[in-house]
Amino acid sequence: MSSSYPPLAQALVDRMAEAAAAAPDRAVAFQGAPGAYSHQAVREAFPDRLPLPCASFEDAIEAVQAGRAGVAMIPIENSLHGRVADIHFLLPESGLSIVGEHFVRVRHCLLALGEKASLREVKSHVQALGQVRRHLRAWGIAPVQYFDTAAAAAAVAGDGDASVGAIASRLAGELYGLNILAEGVEDADHNTTRFVVLSREAAVPPLGIPAMTSFNFEVRSVPAALFKALGGFATNGVNMTKLESYLRDGKFSQAEFYAEIEGSPQEPPVQRALEELAFFTNWVKLIGTYPRARDRAA
């Protein structure tokens, strides 16, 4: 756990960690301070389990690997900012399986100890500040960067300065006793983060339940390798919802890809498509098959 959390946040971290240590199978690890949007995702998806704050994505994943938590809730992409940095390296290397997904509508709140008229500046993560810049400009409030949205709320509550506010979740405001002066102050009304649930054991849903499958692969270094590798999904009528490339170890010759499809390897069309993919790639690694949380076009 990080020792750089503001005191109010650290006190909550310590209590949550103690509760999780007493019942690790019920713990859900997440990255960030209590009140972060990842914490909100845990509360929405697992209301009866124990949230376990972690300082980094690696720490949250390691908590599951070591048995200190049953699962981890990790953000994978945002509708405004795209994929979360490094997550496509962490997922396959973790040895964990994706067993679920959850979407969180990000609704930023203006939080403070006093009234909006008293505010001169607000603290928050740089991305959150960028997402509310029009409101801040209209209100004449200066943005101040902080390493975490929820930690910014904890710092504001602990410092006791009514001229400084925070941009964070409603949950953060409630946890740290701040006034919610405005809600939904983000400039874009579609700001949504998708989370995946990671577990030590795979849990493929039964046939008949709409499913997603995530996997990585590396194409062979030959002409039209990607075209040939993906042809099986088209010919078998399998919908691919995501395909992103990345390079590893400074190599520019062979790209690795992270992909997601609708369906399960238990279904014959998906099975045939994956077999064809394997024929034209150096390797394929399935990361998980899990229930689909919502229609991607919604």
CATH number of 109-183, picked from 2.102.10.10, 3.30.70.1050, 3.90.79.10, 3.40.190.10: 3.40.190.10
User: For position 253, what pLDDT does the model report?
Assistant: 61
257's tokens: 């890809």
Which residue shows structure tokens 């949950």?
171
Residue 9: exposed, middle, or buried by beta-carbon count in 10 A (0-12, 13-18, 19+)? buried
**Under 8 Å between Cβ of 153 and 166:** yes
Tell me, which fold does domain 7-104+192-199 have in CATH? D-Maltodextrin-Binding Protein; domain 2 (3.40.190)
User: For position 173, what pLDDT does the model report?
Assistant: 98
User: For position 195, what pLDDT does the model report?
Assistant: 96
Q: Whole-model pTM?
A: 0.92
Which residue shows structure tokens 């943005």?
143
Tell me, which fold does domain 211-291 have in CATH? Alpha-Beta Plaits (3.30.70)
User: For position 166, what pLDDT does the model report?
Assistant: 98
The single-letter DSSP state of residue 213 is E
Would you give per-residue pLDDT tens digits along the chain (298 residues)?
A: 445 899 999 999 999 999 999 999 999 999 999 999 999 999 999 999 999 999 999 999 999 999 999 999 999 998 888 888 678 788 888 999 999 999 999 999 999 999 999 999 999 999 899 999 999 999 999 999 999 999 999 999 999 999 999 999 999 999 999 999 999 999 888 899 999 999 999 999 999 999 999 999 998 888 888 999 999 999 999 999 999 988 776 666 677 899 999 999 999 999 999 999 999 999 999 999 999 997 766 6
Catalytically active residues are 193, 195
User: For position 255, what pLDDT does the model report?
Assistant: 79
Count of C-beta atoms within a 10 Å radius of residue 36:
26
User: For position 250, what pLDDT does the model report?
Assistant: 62
User: For position 223, what pLDDT does the model report?
Assistant: 85
Sorted by sequence, the CB contacts under 8 Å of residue 111 that are 6+ apart come out as 153, 156, 165, 166, 167, 168, 172, 173, 176, 178, 179, 180, 181
User: For position 2, what pLDDT does the model report?
Assistant: 42
Domain 7-104+192-199 and domain 109-183, same fold? Reply is yes
User: For position 82, what pLDDT does the model report?
Assistant: 80
Query: What are the boundaries of each domain within the chain?
Result: 7-104+192-199, 109-183, 211-291
Q: State how far the Cα of 74 lies from the Cα of 76, in Å rounded to an integer.
A: 6
User: For position 296, what pLDDT does the model report?
Assistant: 66
